């Protein structure tokens, strides 16, 4: 079997290693990491078995943030779900809202007007830049001393991220959980002067991305990330990884281009990929994506078409959205990968709530790669690998 051959040859780690028959060179030590650990990006626990300083087995334990979101959404009406799913992937809430509303629109057969589709694309790309900036800043903290005390990069990245938060606050009135998407379109129209502000912010960020790359063009950073946490294409596809992690393994797959939604079939963009599969390749892909998203956002704000923002008659009360039966699966490309939302209509709440609501989070699949990747690495590499996968625990545990 190919999996066993890959494990035996040392290409992949063995998640099912039997420790009772394992003979250690040094002392075998069990090390608990988390659930409260500054570099686990939330509450996440990994149990590591160490042979000396080398990891021989890793077992992840998620579930410290399980909030029963899917069950909660089945009790709410379709319009009430939108602000709930904001809190799933709390680094990219815009994309969560879009996924839910697109699923409901697909079930009801509503066509979204062109202006709303372009605005959604713009918001998605701005959110992608903000999410990657947060990732880069916290990755700097994770790698710590390699980057001048660690927090320097964090401070720089958050300076730019705050500007995008300001843009969203200007549009929706909220810094964080926006609730700006609704069934059939968008709730908030672009205020006066917002487009100019977006362009200024994009220019500012684009200039400073070059600075981060210059800061990270450093031998210590390369030693900490190159050939660390290699996920090859076979393993990535086998585990269902998506997004930048998959593209860093050399697989050219992006839902924005391969299954276009919103306005992605109307604009030109490139999908950056890398072939290393290691932490450095994931860093390269994310930085290239930031640049590409900024370019796309500039095109989108220039070409934002005129017209209405809501297609069907506007939804005034939550119970106006009623679906008798049907099911829909919508997949979006979030900053972390494919976010799937599966809705079966026909709940008992007068057809106004779903019967089943399922979220396919990309972070859960990223975390599932840990037992395959960690064995063979040192303890200090765990932080780099976990950081480079960019998991969001709200999404993993739901």
Partner 1 sequence: MAVDDPGRSYSHPLFDTLERFPGLDLATTTADKLLNWGARNSLWIFPMATSCCGIEFMASAASRVDFDRMGSFTRATPRQADVMVVAGTITVKMAPRVKRLWDQMPEPKWCVAMGSCAISGDFYRDIYSVIPGIDTVIPVDVYVPGCPPNPEALMAGLLVLQEKIALKTAGLKTVPAGRPETAKMISPRIKRVGHPDRMPEIDAAQCAQAMSLDLTEPPDLLAAFTAAQAAAKAAREAAEAAAADAAAADEKGGEA
**Chain contacts with partner 1 (rule: CB under 8 A):** 35-36, 38, 42-43, 63-68, 71-72, 84, 87, 90-91, 134, 137-138, 154-156, 158-159, 161-162, 165, 175-177, 393-394
Whether residue 375 contacts residue 55, with contact meaning beta carbons closer than 8 Å, is answered with yes
Give the Cα separation of 71 and 67 in Å (integer).
9
Q: What is the largest CA-CA distance in the chain?
A: 70
In the complex with partner 1, the residue whose CB is nearer, 90 or 194, is 90
What is the phi/psi pair of residue 34, to 5°?
100, -175
CB of 240 to partner 1, least distance (A): 24
Per-residue burial over 351-386, b if 16 or more Cβ lie within 10 Å, else e, is bbbbbebebbbbbbbbbbbbbbbbbebeeebbbbbb
CB of 149 to partner 1, least distance (A): 13
Give the Cα separation of 185 and 255 in Å (integer).
21
CB of 90 to partner 1, least distance (A): 4
**Which candidate, 385, 384, 392, 375, places its Cα nearest to that of 337?**
392
Omega cis (within 30) before 35: yes
- DSSP secondary structure letters along 238-261: HHT--THHHHHTT----HHHHS--
In the complex with partner 1, the residue whose CB is nearer, 88 or 225, is 88
CB of 397 to partner 1, least distance (A): 8
**Which candidate, 345, 365, 324, places its Cα nearest to that of 100?**
345
Helices (H) and strands (E) in the chain, counts: 16, 8
CA dihedral for 98, 77, 91, 314, sign (positive or negative): positive
Residue 307, CA atoms < 13 Å, CB-side half-sphere: 15
**3-class SS of residue 310:** strand
In the complex with partner 1, the residue whose CB is nearer, 54 or 80, is 80
Show Cβ contacts of residue 223 under 8 Å, excluding neighbours closer than 6 positions.
Answer: none
In the complex with partner 1, the residue whose CB is nearer, 72 or 271, is 72
CB of 155 to partner 1, least distance (A): 4
In the complex with partner 1, the residue whose CB is nearer, 90 or 342, is 90
CB of 180 to partner 1, least distance (A): 15
In the complex with partner 1, the residue whose CB is nearer, 91 or 296, is 91
Whether residue 48 contacts residue 382, with contact meaning beta carbons closer than 8 Å, is answered with yes
Report residue 57 CA to chain centroid gap: 26
In the complex with partner 1, the residue whose CB is nearer, 185 or 335, is 335
CB of 35 to partner 1, least distance (A): 6
Please report, in angstroms and rounded to a whole number, the separation of the first and last CA atoms in the chain: 34
In the complex with partner 1, the residue whose CB is nearer, 140 or 375, is 140
CB of 61 to partner 1, least distance (A): 10
CB of 161 to partner 1, least distance (A): 8
In the complex with partner 1, the residue whose CB is nearer, 38 or 308, is 38
């Amino acid at each position: 079997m190919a999996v066993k051959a890959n494990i035996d040859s040392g290409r992949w780690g063995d998640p099912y290693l039997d420790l009772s028959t394992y003979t250690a060179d040094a002392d075998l030590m069990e090390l608990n990491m988390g659930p409260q650990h500054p570099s686990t990006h939330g509450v996440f626990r990994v149990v590591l078995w160490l042979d000396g300083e080398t990891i021989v087995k890793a077992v992840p334990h998620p579930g410290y943030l399980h909030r029963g979101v899917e069950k909660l959404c089945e009790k709410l009406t379709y319009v009430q779900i939108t602000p709930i799913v904001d809190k799933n992937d709390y680094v990219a809430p815009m994309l969560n809202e879009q996924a839910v509303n697109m699923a409901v629109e697909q079930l009801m057969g509503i066509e979204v007007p062109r202006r709303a589709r372009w605005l959604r694309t713009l918001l998605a790309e701005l959110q992608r830049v903000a999410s990657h900036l947060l990732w880069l800043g916290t990755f700097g903290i994770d790698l710590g001393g390699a980057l001048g005390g660690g927090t320097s990069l964090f401070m720089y990245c958050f300076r730019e991220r705050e500007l995008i938060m300001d843009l969203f606050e200007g549009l929706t009135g909220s810094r964080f959980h926006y609730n700006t998407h609704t069934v059939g379109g968008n709730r908030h129209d672009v205020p006066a002067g917002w487009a100019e502000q977006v362009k200024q912010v994009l220019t500012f960020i684009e200039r400073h991305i070059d600075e981060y790359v210059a800061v990270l063009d450093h031998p210590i950073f390369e030693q900490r990330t190159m050939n660390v946490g290699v996920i090859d294409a076979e393993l990535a596809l086998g585990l269902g990884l998506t997004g930048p992690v998959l593209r860093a393994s050399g697989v050219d797959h992006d839902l924005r281009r391969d299954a276009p939604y919103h306005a992605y079939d109307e604009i030109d963009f490139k999908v950056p990929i890398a072939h290393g599969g290691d932490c450095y390749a994931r860093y390269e892909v994310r930085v290239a994506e930031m640049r590409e998203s900024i370019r796309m956002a500039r095109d989108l704000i220039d070409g934002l078409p005129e017209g209405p923002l809501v297609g069907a008659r506007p939804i005034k009360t939550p119970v106006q959205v009623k679906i008798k039966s049907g099911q829909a699966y919508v997949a979006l490309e979030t900053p972390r990968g494919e976010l799937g939302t599966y809705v079966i209509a026909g709940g008992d709440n007068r057809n106004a709530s779903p019967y089943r609501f399922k979220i396919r989070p990309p972070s859960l699949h990223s975390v599932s790669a840990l037992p395959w990747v960690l064995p063979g690495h040192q303890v200090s590499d765990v932080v780099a690998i976990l950081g480079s996968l960019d998991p969001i625990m709200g999404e993993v545990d739901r």
